[in-house]
Chain A
Amino acid sequence: MTPMLAVLSAGPGVTVQDAGRRGWSRWGVTGCGAMDPAAFHLANRALGNEAGAAAIEVATSGLEITVEGGALDVAIVGGDFDIRLDGRRLTATVGLRLEPGGRLAIRAGVSGAWCYLAVAGTIDVPAVLGSRATHIRSGLGGLGGRGLGAGDRLAISGARRVIETVSAIDAGVLEADGGPIRVVLGPQADHFTDDQIAAFLEREWRLSPRSDRMAYALEGPPLGHARGHDIVSDAVAHGAIQVPGSGLPFVLMADRQPTGGYPKIATVIGADLGRMAQIRPGGTVRFRAVTSDEAVAARRTLADRLTRPVRSTPMVRGELSTADLIGRDLVSGVVDAHSDDGR
């Protein structure tokens, strides 16, 4: 029987996302997709899903689900969220089997702004313009082009059993080094004086509460423009940092409009988009300029790490089992149930 994922409660901004809607920017269509592409990718890999399979992106507003009609294997990867299965606290990056009637609650934890609930199967919402990603502003994709809410049901077709026991997923590849977010200067760095670029890189910026999937608004002393704050609209990359007339930068995120008319002082490199996305409103950020070559090298390093087998460790009564349990590849199906040793 096809399991049905049932939403018991969902805060604002919890949506179905995939790797994004590609190929339609020339028609004004927003790319969307996961805010933290690496975490999203790892969640799918932990279940042996195809890269880019649709998952549920959970905001700090939280999500509680159950499943009807059959068990469902899921993986959760992303920020340090508070995950509870039938009230039992689990680790933040975890694979588990949700049995019918079981309750899985995902709430904001210590840090992080987004996490991904991937399912071993296909979230059965129609692809719109080739993608299941939700874009709420234009009402496209996902479940009726909107965020999830209590009472929503998502059919999961082709559900597979891949998880033997509740297991902590090793998300070490996502671990932040805590350093500044790396940017490549431009494409309109020439609209700013050298001292304003230096100020942009030296300042500690605070993330405004007005931040959302479209843009992260930064607060701090405003930057000045050398050549006015309007340009003829051109295309906007994920991670581009535009500076409008207010002088306060916006980091343009997954739901950005495909074009814009303000100068972009710098662009967050692909390898750091996830770290940028995981900063919460009120949190602070610094930027460091790197070359395009360094950005490509960082991209390659992350891509290589993300292709390694996903390792996981069975959990015992909600605690991580001891280190003598060797991490295993969840997908290989060789994980033993190590839950009876009473430790």
Chain B
Amino acid sequence: MVPLRFLDSGETMLVVEFGSTIDVMLNERVLALDAALAGAALPGVIETTPTFRSLAVHYEPLVLDRARLVDHILELERLAEVTERPARTWTFPCCYTLPHGEDLAEVAARLALTPERLVELHTGRALRVHMYGFSPGFAYLGGLAPELAASRRAHPRAPHPSDAVMIAGGMSAVAPLPMPTGWWVIGRTPEKVFAPVRDPAFLVAVGDDIRFEAIDAGTFEALAARVAAGEVVARVEAKR
């Protein structure tokens, strides 16, 4: 295994870097250390941010000395082998037809796929939440079929609706909040990945899988009404 790199961003954030690429095994190591650090509950650790290939530790250096933090991390990393963590597979309903799959026809044409084939490929695999970023609940999903590797738009499109399901750059994403984007909007889920007043506010943990299930526009409306009433309509089971 490649040794860890410790990178400082100022005196309050230490980046533990496992590698420089997007890779499931690197991401597993990130999450294993993240879980071990959470378990250790070190005074002075404020929060951690797991990303594709690194774990950022936000800390208060007047409480926790950097050298001690590094020692703890090295010890935890030695013990924290890449073991089975409790991870889940979610099934998210997704409507790919209009008015929801706004860019589906255009991106299918670019990929030389029929819209039906694109949907088949997107629903055919469980996609892994590698990290969140960009905006609250914006989940980067890895494991996309290679046929769906569309490049990003040259210029951002108009803001997408809430809970858009998108592809670009070899990844998929779920984007809860409307934003301009360089991604292609291929569908929309009636489920809320992020609902600030719900407990839990976020449904899907980093490391969980999401499998999309195609629904028609009528079913979308029915499920959206149930979600609006406070129900969670995505199904969940233990992974593997």
* Chain A nearest CB, measured from B205 CB (Å): 9
Chain B stretch 1-55: residues in CB contact (< 8 A) with chain A: 7-13, 15, 17, 20-22, 46-54
Cβ contact within 8 Å between B15 and A187:
yes
A267 to B177, CA, bound (A): 29
Cβ contact within 8 Å between A26 and B49:
yes
A29 at interface (Cβ–Cβ under 8 A)? yes
Taking CB atoms, residues of chain A closer than 8 Å to B194 are 27
Cβ contact within 8 Å between A186 and B11:
no
CB-nearest residue of chain A relative to B19?
Answer: A232
Chain A stretch 147-205: residues in CB contact (< 8 A) with chain B: 183-184, 186-188
Taking CB atoms, residues of chain B closer than 8 Å to A27 are 132, 136-137, 194, 201-202
Taking CB atoms, residues of chain A closer than 8 Å to B50 are 26
Cβ contact within 8 Å between A234 and B66:
no
For A27, A295, A303, which residue has the most chain B Cβ atoms within 10 angstroms? Answer: A27
What number of residue pairs across chains A and B have CB atoms under 8 A from each other?
Answer: 135
Taking CB atoms, residues of chain A closer than 8 Å to B66 are 292, 296
Cβ contact within 8 Å between A270 and B49:
no
Taking CB atoms, residues of chain A closer than 8 Å to B11 are 184, 269-270, 292, 295-296, 299
> How would residues 189 to 207 of chain B score, 1 for a CB under 8 Å from any chain A CB and 0 otherwise?
0000010110001100010
* Chain A nearest CB, measured from B162 CB (Å): 11
CB-nearest residue of chain A relative to B132?
Answer: A28
Cβ contact within 8 Å between B201 and A28:
no
Cβ contact within 8 Å between B136 and A140:
yes
A271 to B225, CA, bound (A): 49
Taking CB atoms, residues of chain A closer than 8 Å to B104 are none
* Chain A nearest CB, measured from B165 CB (Å): 16
Cβ contact within 8 Å between A26 and B48:
yes
Taking CB atoms, residues of chain B closer than 8 Å to A253 are none
B127 at interface (Cβ–Cβ under 8 A)? no
Cβ contact within 8 Å between B138 and A28:
yes
B58 at interface (Cβ–Cβ under 8 A)? yes
With A187-B15, A259-B49, A267-B9 known as contacts, the answer to whether A234 contacts B136 (CB < 8 A) is: no
With A257-B133, A259-B133 known as contacts, the answer to whether A25 contacts B10 (CB < 8 A) is: no
* Chain A nearest CB, measured from B25 CB (Å): 14
Cβ contact within 8 Å between A140 and B196:
yes
Chain A stretch 229-261: residues in CB contact (< 8 A) with chain B: 231-240, 257-260
Taking CB atoms, residues of chain B closer than 8 Å to A231 are 20
Taking CB atoms, residues of chain B closer than 8 Å to A22 are 46-47, 58
From A23, A30, A237, A259, contact of B10 by CB (8 A): A237
Chain A stretch 281-300: residues in CB contact (< 8 A) with chain B: 292, 295-296, 299-300
B234 at interface (Cβ–Cβ under 8 A)? no
From B10, B131, B135, contact of A137 by CB (8 A): B135
Cβ contact within 8 Å between B53 and A23:
no
* Chain A nearest CB, measured from B168 CB (Å): 13
A12 at interface (Cβ–Cβ under 8 A)? no
A26 to B11, CA, bound (A): 20
Cβ contact within 8 Å between A232 and B58:
no
Cβ contact within 8 Å between A233 and B47:
no
Chain A stretch 11-47: residues in CB contact (< 8 A) with chain B: 22-30
A315 at interface (Cβ–Cβ under 8 A)? no
* Chain B nearest CB, measured from A138 CB (Å): 5
* Chain A nearest CB, measured from B17 CB (Å): 8
With A128-B196, A187-B9, A233-B52 known as contacts, the answer to whether A299 contacts B133 (CB < 8 A) is: no
* Chain B nearest CB, measured from A330 CB (Å): 26
A67 at interface (Cβ–Cβ under 8 A)? no
A226 at interface (Cβ–Cβ under 8 A)? no
With A27-B136, A27-B202 known as contacts, the answer to whether A234 contacts B8 (CB < 8 A) is: no
Cβ contact within 8 Å between A234 and B61:
no
A33 to B53, CA, bound (A): 27
Cβ contact within 8 Å between A26 and B47:
yes
Cβ contact within 8 Å between B8 and A29:
no
Top 3 A-B residue pairs of the complex, sorted by shortest distance between their CB atoms: A235-B56, A259-B133, A187-B7
User: Hey, which bits of chain A sit against chain B, CB under 8 A?
Assistant: 22-30, 128-129, 137-140, 183-184, 186-188, 231-240, 257-260, 264, 267-270, 292, 295-296, 299-300, 303
Kindly list 5 other residue pairs between chains A and B, CB separation below 8 angstroms, not including A30-B136, A235-B49, A258-B133.
A24-B136, A140-B136, A233-B140, A234-B51, A296-B62
Provide 17 A-B residue pairs closer than 8 Å at the C-beta atoms, listed in order of the A residue: A22-B58, A24-B136, A28-B133, A232-B21, A232-B51, A233-B140, A234-B56, A236-B9, A237-B13, A257-B133, A267-B8, A269-B11, A270-B10, A270-B11, A292-B8, A296-B11, A299-B11
